[in-house]
Structures are given as structure tokens and as C-alpha cells.
Amino acid sequence: MTIEQIRPARTGQTDTVSYRQVYHRRIARKILAEFSHERALSPVETGPGRYVVGSADGRTDYHFRAEVLSLENWAIEESSLRRVRDGEELPVDAVALVVDLAPMLGIGPQALPEYLEEFISTLAISADRPDERRITAADLAHADFQTIERTMTEGHPCIVANAGRLGFSADDIDRYAPEVGNHFRLVWVAARREDCDVATVSGVDYDAMLVDELGADTLAEFDTVLRESGCDPDDYRYLPVHPWQWTEKVRKLYSADLADRRIVFVGESPDLYQAQQSIRTVFNATTPTRHYVKGALSIVNMGFTRGMSADYMRTTPLINNWVRGLVADDPYLAAIGFEMIFEVAAIGYRSPTFTPITQPGSEYRKILSALWRQSPVTLVRGGEQLSTMAALLHVDHHGDPLVGAFIARSGIPAAEWIRRYLRTYLHPIAYLLYRYELKFSPHGENLILVLDEGVPVRAILKDIGEEVSVFGEPEDLPESCARVLTTEPDEIRNLGVLSDVFDDYLRPLADVLHTHRLVTDEELWDLVADSLREFVDTHPDLADQFAKWDLFAPEFGAVHMNGLQLRNNKRMVDIEDSYASLVDAGHRLVNPVAERGRQ
């Protein structure tokens, strides 16, 4: 089913106003819940299940009802939220809430305006969405891959200001934001070969891949443009550029390179592309079996400036190649249908001006690069449906969760649906960690679910080269790929599941399931414990690893995602830092499967 076939939600000014109020409450709920989870806020209990958080100036109180679930998960009753200022009840306003709580959240006066800019942009995705773009959960459960992708409003499940897009104008958002679902063409340039780093996985030739992606006729047109500019095509490499990056960065910073014909504009892609949730990755809407393209996009979004460097491009396909070779013939992964989509080729431009005067990691090295990732469309069989795993946290404008609609479509009990889901998601992620010592970042946007009539049957992992961390010292890892190696003590290696899966994803999912009475929090963690016991029993040969990196450890260290973003919104995590450096040493979370797993 395509977006054109889906009936639009109710329209009208009254609905639009009420939806704004709905989403102000919804995001205010997330602010209170996530910052309480991170212990930046300490709600005071005023009665059984009733709490209040006071503003920094003491004039405003936020009252709400809540249950504190496993993992210090604050399940706040949205409709109970009340804002009382100087004794007068006022409408809940998420922006005012941030201002009221800013000193308690660690947002100083100098940082507050920019944080608010990111937060207001995030709020607008849902609160200001035109009614014709609102789709009910029941309809979305039958929708196609890209309709689901552009309907997501939640962003990162833990980070509050998760869609800042600092650098985009309002017009840019209309053109390029994922939730708009607009289709656009990529800009193509030619760059001098000696200035480019190109890398591919084994079996892929860069130039041959471009023929498959663009067609011989388009490449011939590019050659003609070069010759008419007095250039020899054999001296150049072709690479795509996001249109915003071309206008706002490349044409300005590399004006001398363009004048000297080190870079030459040669045209636009014949195919149209659609931005994905990760914003700098685009999906080929014209020919979906062709590759995703991921390009540098120098905007600030969710804790990072989203450029891409030649330094990374020259090793990313090599890392993918090594991971692919490691897991390619694994019988267990094959048996459960788990797949990875790999970044098969990459190119990065080394500026003769900026590269010599900067160090790796500089944003001025991250202006002009691109990579190609396999499309998941080629992996679908029959009537199977693709969906970002982020969809399991999506709640529509009427308050209905998409996970509930998937369960209803499946026709099986919710508990059984969760069991099957955990086998497709939790099991392979744990297996990669314990069998191969590979840790990924398996949050919702990095996983694609394959569903059959609403039932999860397989999972597809993406974003391999940038997200993988390798424990140990594998002998066959190319020296050029050493950036993925990490040294962590045994006692925290289990965070690849306990933090990255339990706290970052299953905790928010538990909130949705519990709040909407699909599966209680207790029932969910019972199911997770059963699923992990099943996984451990299936792999007795990994007993030593299970003992060292205990999945049923009594507690584990918390990672405060919002705190990291507030510390540095342009680089919330330094890739050179160890994982241990991100853990709050003073905040331990009780592992919800610890006792269950030993029964």
C-alpha cells in the first residue's frame, strides 16, 4: 500500500490545533520521563502514584501521575500532566517546560537558546505536521517501507532534542526533511582523481557500480560535460552530493577548486531520492533496488555535525568487507534469517586547502564524501513488508501505537508476537557480541524489520562501518581498519546488550506496551528473560563468554544520552573515547532480567 492509497486523517483547523496540544503534552511527558530516568530531575511523590516537579525559579509546578517501571522507566500518564504557575493552571507547553527546568537539566543561559532551537525543530515534526501527512496506526501497519519511514515522528527513543537540523532553513526542511517525504535529485560532480580516496568491498568495482547506479547514458553525458569544460574524464572521479551540501558548503568552501576545475559540476541524478530518518542517507525512490546513498551533510543534528570525511571513506568499505567475511557463512545467523546490508563503496575528496592544515576529525575535512549501502528491498520475499524498527515506538495522532496495530494484524497473542520479535532482534545482536565480539548500535533506526502479515520474521542490520566496535585483537583485521578496535574490561562488555538494547530500546518499548495495555512491564521482562535463557541454552559453546560478560548481572552502569548531548551538541561522543568513558559511574541500573534469568 502506498501513501496515495491511504486515506488521510481527519482534516480541519480544529484538529490541527488539538494535535499541537497533543504533541506538546506528549513531548513534555518525554522530557519529564527521560530526564528523571537520567536523574537530572527528582520528582517528589505527593500521593500514591502522584508526583510533582518544580521549576528552577520555584514559581511553576508540573503535576502528573506515573508508574516507575523497571530500569527507572517513568511511565507518565499523559492526560494527567498539569502546569500550575503562581497558582494558576496553564496549558502544557513543552518549550516553556524546557525553560522552566533548564538549570536543573544542566543547560546554562548561554546554551539555552541553541538547545531550544534544536528542541523547537524536534517538536515541529509532530506538532506542526499538516493533517494530510497524518496516518493512523491501523493504516500504517499495512503501508509500504517508505511510507512508514516518512511517517515516524519520535526520533531517537531516549534523546529529547533529536531532530534539530541546525543549518536547515524552513524551505530546506520542506525539501529535505525525512518526515516531509519529498523526492529530490542528487547533485553530481567530478573531482580530480589524485584528490580522491576511493574504496570498495571485494567484488565491487567503483566505476562499474556507477554504471549500475546511473546508467551508461548518464555517465556519457557527464563525460561530455567534462570534455566541454576542457577536462579529460580519465583524470576524474564522479561522486554525488546532497543538494543542500552543494549549495551551502561545496560551492562556497571549494570555490577555488571549482574555478581551477579540480571539481566540476556535471549534472544531477536521473533517479529521485527520499531522505531517511538518519537524514543524510537517501533511498532511491525511482529504482528501490539500487543502493542507498549516504553523503556529507554539515548540519547539526542529534549531538553531531553530520559531515563525512575522506579519512573514514577510505576504510569504511574495508571494515564492511571484514565484517562480511567474518559472518558470511555463519549457520546460526543463516538459520534465523538475520541479514546485514553493507556499505559497498565510498569516496572522499581531500581538499588541497583544508586537508593540510587540519587533523582527522575536523569538520573541514567532512565536506565532500559519499558512500553506497545495499538496499534491503532485494532481500524481501513474496508479500513481506519492510519497516524501520523505530516504528515499534510510534504512536499516531489519535494515541494508537503502531506496535499494537502490527500485533492486531498478526492475529497472534501479544506475548507470542513479542517472543518472535525478540528472536529476530535480541538474539542476533547478542550472538554477534558473544560469538564474534562485535558491538553495534542497534537502536530503532539502525534495524529494519521484515514482517509477514504483521509478524516479525527477520531483522536486517545497517550502518556497519561507522557503528561497529570490535573487542579483542583479531589477527585478520586490516591495519587500516584499526579505528574499530576498542579495549573494554570484561565487566562492561555486556553493555552491548544491557545498555544498548535493554536501556536504549526495550525500555522505551516497555513504556509503549505497558501504557497501552498490550503487555505489562512485568510480562515484557519475563519474556526477555525467557528469550535470553533460550538463547544461552542454544549456545553452550559460548559458556565462557556468558560467564565473563554476564547478561544476568544484578546491575549495570547507566549512559545518560541527553546529558552527553548537552555537554557537546556538535560531538556528543568522541569516537576515540572508550565505551567505559560514557558510563555514569554513580548511576547503576537494576538489571530487570537478573532474578528472572536465574530462576
Q: Please determine, for residue 8, whether its predicted confidence score (pLDDT) is greater than 80.
A: no
Q: Please determine, for residue 15, whether its predicted confidence score (pLDDT) is greater than 70.
A: no
Cell of 354: 583544508
Nearest to residue 493, comparing CAs of 544, 424, 423? 544
Q: Please determine, for residue 488, whether its predicted confidence score (pLDDT) is greater than 90.
A: no
Q: Are 43 and 52 in contact (CB under 8 A)?
A: yes
Q: Which pLDDT score, from 0 to 100, does residue 14 have?
A: 40
Query: Which amino acid is it at 521?
Result: D
The mean pLDDT of 303-314, rounded to a whole number, is 93
User: Given pLDDT bands bounded at 50, 70 and 90, which one contains residue 549?
Assistant: very high
Q: Are 394 and 151 in contact (CB under 8 A)?
A: yes
The backbone torsions φ and ψ at residue 515, rounded to the nearest 5 degrees and listed phi first, read -60, -35
Please state which of the ranges 188-202, 223-237, 370-384, 583-597 shows the lowest mean pLDDT.
Answer: 583-597
Q: Which pLDDT score, from 0 to 100, does residue 6 have?
A: 37
Q: Are 7 and 140 in contact (CB under 8 A)?
A: no
Question: pTM for the whole thing?
Answer: 0.94
Cα distances (Å, whole numbers) of residue 197 to 307, 344, 355, 466 = 16, 14, 13, 17
Q: Which pLDDT score, from 0 to 100, does residue 1 have?
A: 46
- 142 burial class (0-12, 13-18, 19+ CB within 10 angstroms)? middle
Half-sphere exposure of 86 (CA within 13 A, CB side): 1
Q: Are 509 and 401 in contact (CB under 8 A)?
A: no
Q: Which pLDDT score, from 0 to 100, does residue 579 have?
A: 73
The mean pLDDT of 381-403, rounded to a whole number, is 96
The mean pLDDT of 140-154, rounded to a whole number, is 96
The three-state secondary structure class of 221 is helix
Q: Are 239 and 188 in contact (CB under 8 A)?
A: yes
Q: Which pLDDT score, from 0 to 100, does residue 353 have?
A: 95
DSSP bridge pairs for 262: none
Q: What is the mean pLDDT of the chain?
A: 94
Please state which of the ranges 6-10, 391-395, 447-451, 534-538 shows the lowest mean pLDDT.
Answer: 6-10
Residue 37: alpha-carbon gap to chain centroid: 20
Q: Which pLDDT score, from 0 to 100, does residue 202 have?
A: 96
Q: Please determine, for residue 412, whether its predicted confidence score (pLDDT) is greater than 60.
A: yes
Residue-range domains of the chain with CATH: 19-106 (3.30.310.280), 182-373 (no CATH), 384-596 (1.10.510.40)
Q: Please determine, for residue 356, whether its predicted confidence score (pLDDT) is greater than 50.
A: yes
Q: Are 453 and 410 in contact (CB under 8 A)?
A: yes
Q: Which pLDDT score, from 0 to 100, does residue 5 have?
A: 41
Q: What percent of the chain has pLDDT over 70?
A: 96
Please state which of the ranges 16-25, 285-294, 347-356 shows the lowest mean pLDDT.
Answer: 16-25
In the DSSP assignment, the letter for residue 164 is -
C-alpha to C-alpha distance for 338 and 427, rounded to whole angstroms: 10
Residues 92-117: tens digit of each pLDDT: 999 999 999 999 999 999 999 999 99
The three-state secondary structure class of 598 is coil
The mean pLDDT of 16-34, rounded to a whole number, is 90
Q: What percent of the chain has pLDDT over 90?
A: 87
DSSP bridge pairs for 452: 455
Nearest to residue 227, comparing CAs of 190, 256, 186, 269? 190
β-strand pairing of 455-461 with 339-340? parallel
User: Given pLDDT bands bounded at 50, 70 and 90, which one contains residue 490?
Assistant: confident
Q: Which pLDDT score, from 0 to 100, does residue 578 have?
A: 66
The DSSP result for 384-444, as a single string, is -EEEEGGGGG-B-TTS-BHHHHHHHHHTS-HHHHHHHHHHHHHHHHHHHHHHH-EE----G
Sequence-distant (≥ 6) Cβ neighbours of residue 191 within 8 angstroms: 236, 237, 239, 262, 263, 264, 349, 368
The mean pLDDT of 398-425, rounded to a whole number, is 98
Please state which of the ranges 49-53, 84-88, 466-470 shows the lowest mean pLDDT.
Answer: 466-470
In the DSSP assignment, the letter for residue 156 is S
Residue in the structure block whose three cell numbers are 559472518 = 327
